[in-house]
């Protein structure tokens, strides 16, 4: 299992502790250090069963800084944007088998550790 993880994010820390408490092995994808490849972003968007916009942190300042309204962006444009500005991807995102899970709340964490 891979986790798109930001060590400064309280939601990521909560998920990390839940995984450790259950003894679940996971790979920390420190995307702010390594970036996101276009292949990884495509995998996330293709594997997520909900609205692709759920995978984006639309209130991040980077959109305003770039003069963009995320609600007006097309999917392919957003995918390119996330490769250039990975801070705007939702977190924590869990890649479990072929499923993409947003683990920001108790329900998401339960899906991961359940």
Q: Residue 98's pLDDT is what?
A: 86
**pLDDT means per 10 residues in the chain (114 residues)?**
95 96 95 93 96 97 97 98 97 94 96 92
Domains and CATH numbers, the chain: 2-113 (3.40.30.10)
Q: Residue 84's pLDDT is what?
A: 97
DSSP per-residue codes, 9-70? -HHHHHHHHHHHHTT---EEE-HHHH---HHHHHHHHHH--S-GGGGB-TT-HHHHHTT--G
Q: What is the pTM of this model?
A: 0.91
Q: Residue 114's pLDDT is what?
A: 82
């Amino acid at each position: 299992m891979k986790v798109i993880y930001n060590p400064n994010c309280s939601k990521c820390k909560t998920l990390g502790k839940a995984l450790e408490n259950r003894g679940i092995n996971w790979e920390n994808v420190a995307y702010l250090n390594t970036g996101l490849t276009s292949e990884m972003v495509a995998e996330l968007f293709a594997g997520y069963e909900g609205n692709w916009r759920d995978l984006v942190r639309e209130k991040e300042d980077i959109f305003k800084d770039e003069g963009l309204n995320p609600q007006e962006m097309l999917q392919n444009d957003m995918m390119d944007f996330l490769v250039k500005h990975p801070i705007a991807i939702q977190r924590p995102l869990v890649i479990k088998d072929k499923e993409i899970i947003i683990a920001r709340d108790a329900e998401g964490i339960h899906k991961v550790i359940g």
